[in-house]
């Protein structure tokens, strides 16, 4: 099953995004406030027995604040995406750089990263920083979808006036009832994840006059396809 992600109506409106962001922020803020209230009471009568309890609450506060910071950074990247600085890029070199950058992360998860790069691939017209971010988003999503000893292949190929970047994992695949939502901001099935990686990648590719599609089989894995204009190709 192949799904195309081309209609801008598939992502949420700015109002819906903001509503989701506020809800995601209010939940941890409430937890932080409860912990702070308890600390205020205990600090007034601090003793040795309660010291460890106070330290544990402080740790929870620190963790909550770190999660908020991470979420807000993701929101800023999505809502304040700069205009792409288009230049001629070597896609194979860029893909290999991303693979090298995430090799430690994949090894930590016991997932193998492979490259399958088309030789003599034409250059593409794109912003290298933004395209690297998009590939990272797809690759991190693939790593999270994989099980121990699964593999991920980063591949490139040319099709007429387009350059195709493929990220294929042998993970669990995308459930049918999630496939219409994976590019929605804040949609995530993983605890502690902002759910903004794939929406960011989608916005980046659209800003490059590119296209995204994916094919997935439950229990067998998923492939994401990123199509970009080749140098001199139609935009």
pTM for the model stands at 0.69
Residue closest to 222 by CA, chosen among 157, 166, 182, 171: 171
Distance from C-alpha of 50 to C-alpha of 36, rounded to nearest angstrom: 15
Q: Which three-class secondary structure state does DSSP give residue 175?
A: coil
pLDDT attached to residue 180: 87
Indicate left, alpha or beta for 154 from its phi (over 0: left) and psi (-120 to 50: alpha): beta
Name the nearest CA neighbour of 198 among 210, 207, 187, 189.
Answer: 187
Residue 26 token pair:
């209010």
Tell me, what's the pLDDT at 222?
93
For each successive 10 residues of the chain (235 residues), what is the average pLDDT?
A: 50 59 73 75 62 69 72 64 86 93 86 93 92 91 87 93 94 89 77 72 89 92 93 59
Residues in the chain: 235
CA quadruple 110, 103, 68, 16: dihedral sign: negative
pLDDT in the model for residue 152: 93
86-110 residue pLDDT tens: 999 999 999 999 998 888 888 888 9
Phi, psi of 174 (to 5 degrees): -100, 125
Detail the DSSP E strand segments found in 52-116. 87-89, 112-116
Per-residue model confidence (pLDDT) at position 25:
77
The per-residue pLDDT for range 114-136, each reduced to its tens digit, is: 999 999 999 998 999 999 989 99
Chain centroid offset of residue 95 CA: 16
CA-CA distance, 227 to 193, in Å (whole number)? 26
3-state SS, residue 204: helix
- 203 sits in which H/E element: helix 197-207
pLDDT at residue 11, rounded to an integer: 46
Closest to 79 measured CA to CA, from 213, 224, 204, 205: 204
In terms of Cα–Cα distance, which of 95, 43, 72 is closest to 224? Answer: 95
């Amino acid at each position: 099953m192949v799904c195309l992600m081309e209609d801008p109506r598939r992502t949420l409106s700015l109002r819906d995004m903001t509503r989701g962001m506020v809800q995601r922020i209010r939940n941890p803020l409430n937890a932080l406030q409860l912990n702070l209230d308890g600390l205020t009471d205990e600090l007034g009568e601090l003793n040795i027995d309660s010291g460890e309890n106070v330290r544990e609450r402080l740790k929870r506060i620190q963790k909550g604040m770190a999660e908020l910071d991470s979420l807000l950074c993701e929101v800023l990247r999505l809502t304040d995406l700069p205009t792409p600085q288009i230049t001629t890029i070597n896609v194979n070199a860029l893909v290999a750089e991303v693979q090298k950058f995430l090799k430690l992360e994949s090894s930590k998860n016991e997932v193998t990263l492979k490259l399958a790069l088309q030789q003599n691939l034409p250059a593409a017209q794109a912003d290298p920083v933004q395209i690297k971010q998009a590939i990272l988003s797809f690759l991190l999503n693939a790593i999270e979808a994989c099980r121990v000893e699964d593999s991920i292949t980063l591949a490139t190929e040319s099709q007429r006036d387009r350059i195709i970047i493929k990220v294929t994992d042998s993970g669990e695949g995308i459930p049918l009832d999630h496939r219409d939502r994976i590019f929605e901001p804040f949609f995530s099935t993983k605890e502690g994840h902002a759910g903004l990686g794939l929406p960011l990648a989608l916005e980046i590719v659209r800003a490059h006059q590119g296209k995204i599609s994916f094919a997935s089989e439950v229990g067998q894995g998923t492939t994401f396809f990123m199509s970009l204009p080749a140098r001199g190709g139609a935009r």
